[in-house]
Amino acid sequence: MPGKIRGDIVNDTQIKCFLEIAYEKSFTKAANNLYITQPAISRYMAAFEKELGISLFDRTNKHIKLTEAGEIYYDFFRRFQLEFENTMEKVHSLNCKRQGIIRLGYIVGWSISSFLPSILEKFSKEFPDISVSVECLEINELIKALTTNNLDVILTLDNSLDGIKDINKQKVTEIQKLILYSKFQKLPKKQNLTPYDFKDETFYVIANEEAHNAELEIRNYCKSYGFVPHLKLSPNMESIFASVENGLGVTFFDTWGKNIINTPSFKYVLLDSNHEVSMAWNKNNKSEIVHVLVNEFIRHLK
């Protein structure tokens, strides 16, 4: 019978596609937003309309718009989506209270033991039944873990959060940048090396979604010293450190990498530039505990 919905056919993907197309008024934009192809989203909608027994979109004009029936279904599914998200949020908050844990992540290579224990000690006095777990990841993995709710809050470079949807962020401090190199590097034998002294070196950059931003940052900085750097992508930070340690090139790093930069085989040159460091958490995470932890970082790192 037309209009009778079979629950085994209509699925969450079809509903998401329908809502996104209705919002964007474009199959192409909706497909891009949902990271699927336009033919795929068209097939989803054709099957959806067939199952519902009606046309959801008026395709007679250049720009698509909802039919009258489409408007009714849009209102219904939008209310359903919001209610479902609210329910998930309540259940997530309940689970957080029951489990009593906050999952904190930060960038691999950073050593923050000079302040993190003090922050956690003060936090535990206020919330004695809540423990904090710590995980160190590459920047792209860190952000993925946050957006997939595998971490509650992260400490990362502020520019790594550009373009990330549905998160809140708060700047907590700035840290000084540096050029990390090996004691085996053949550089000018002089005191007080400058960035220009590295003009013939290979600059290693991690190969991930943020590589373009990192490359642009390095190019712009080196440009101010009158040279264009030779850049090389590396799969992860461990590979970069190994390459630099063995004299194959250099990399931009920062003063929070104490365990790395103080290793006997490494040397570094401090730069007149800083990284902004921020904490980020999901917008749907309304937990008071996360905000308290973030505020502890801000107070401690002022």
HSE-CB for 248 with a 13 A CA cutoff: 14
Q: Kindly state whether residues 193 and 248 are assigned to the same domain.
A: yes
Residue 293 lies in a domain: yes
Smallest CA-to-CA distance from 253 within 241, 245, 263 is with: 241
Cβ proximity of 156 and 106 under 8 Å: yes
206-258 pLDDT, tens digit each: 887 666 778 888 999 999 999 999 999 999 999 999 999 999 999 999 999 99
Residue 5 lies in a domain: no
Q: Kindly state whether residues 258 and 137 are assigned to the same domain.
A: yes
Return the CATH number at 188. Answer: 3.40.190.290
Using the 3D structure, point to which of 78, 95, 112 is the last residue of a domain: 95
In the structure, what pLDDT confidence band is assigned to residue 298 with cuts at 50, 70 and 90? very high
In the structure, what pLDDT confidence band is assigned to residue 172 with cuts at 50, 70 and 90? very high
More confident: 186 or 210: 186
105-144 pLDDT, tens digit each: 999 999 999 999 999 999 988 888 888 999 999 999 999 9
Residue 209 lies in a domain: yes
Residue recorded with tokens 């630099």: 244
Beta-strand (E) ranges in the chain? 57-58, 65-66, 101-107, 131-137, 153-157, 167-182, 202-206, 230-234, 251-254, 266-282
More confident: 62 or 177: 177
- Sorted by sequence, the CB contacts under 8 Å of residue 144 that are 6+ apart come out as 150
**CA 165, 170, 122 angle in degrees (round to 5)?**
130
Smallest CA-to-CA distance from 142 within 103, 101, 107 is with: 107
Residue recorded with tokens 């937003």: 33
Full domain range(s) for residue 297: 100-302
Q: Which two tokens stand for residue 92?
A: 């997530």
Cα–Cα distance, 20 to 3 (Å, whole number): 22
Q: Kindly state whether residues 77 and 211 are assigned to the same domain.
A: no
Cα–Cα distance, 229 to 203 (Å, whole number): 7
19-36 pLDDT, tens digit each: 999 999 899 999 999 989
What total number of domains does the chain contain? 2
Using the 3D structure, point to which of 50, 67, 95 is the last residue of a domain: 95
* Mean pLDDT for the chain overall: 89
284-294 pLDDT, tens digit each: 888 888 888 99
Q: Kindly state whether residues 282 and 140 are assigned to the same domain.
A: yes
pLDDT over threshold 80, residue 63: no
pLDDT over threshold 70, residue 96: no
What integer pLDDT is reported at residue 239 of this predicted model?
Answer: 95
Q: Kindly state whether residues 162 and 240 are assigned to the same domain.
A: yes
Q: Kindly state whether residues 196 and 154 are assigned to the same domain.
A: yes
Helix (H, G, I), strand (E, B) or coil at 194: coil
Using the 3D structure, point to which of 95, 118, 133 is the last residue of a domain: 95
Q: Kindly state whether residues 62 and 114 are assigned to the same domain.
A: no
HSE-CB for 145 with a 13 A CA cutoff: 21
Q: Kindly state whether residues 53 and 118 are assigned to the same domain.
A: no
More confident: 37 or 99: 37
Q: Kindly state whether residues 172 and 252 are assigned to the same domain.
A: yes
Cα–Cα distance, 261 to 263 (Å, whole number): 6
Q: How many CB atoms lie within 10 A of CB 133?
A: 11
pLDDT over threshold 80, residue 93: no
Cα–Cα distance, 20 to 24 (Å, whole number): 6
In the structure, what pLDDT confidence band is assigned to residue 99 with cuts at 50, 70 and 90? low
Smallest CA-to-CA distance from 17 within 60, 74, 71, 64 is with: 74
Return the CATH number at 36. Answer: 1.10.10.10
Q: Kindly state whether residues 91 and 105 are assigned to the same domain.
A: no
DSSP string spanning 101-150? EEEEEEETT---TTTHHHHHHHHHHH-TT-EEEEEEE-HHHHHHHHHTTS
Residue 1 lies in a domain: no
Cα–Cα distance, 215 to 223 (Å, whole number): 12
Q: How many CB atoms lie within 10 A of CB 228?
A: 9
What integer pLDDT is reported at residue 3 of this predicted model?
Answer: 46
Task: Kindly state the average pLDDT of the residues 156-185.
Answer: 94
pLDDT over threshold 60, residue 1: no
Q: Kindly state whether residues 223 and 90 are assigned to the same domain.
A: no
pLDDT over threshold 70, residue 266: yes
**CA 56, 58, 63 angle in degrees (round to 5)?**
125
Residue 115 lies in a domain: yes
In the structure, what pLDDT confidence band is assigned to residue 46 with cuts at 50, 70 and 90? very high
Residue 69 lies in a domain: yes
What integer pLDDT is reported at residue 201 of this predicted model?
Answer: 96
Residue 39 lies in a domain: yes
Q: Kindly state whether residues 210 and 89 are assigned to the same domain.
A: no
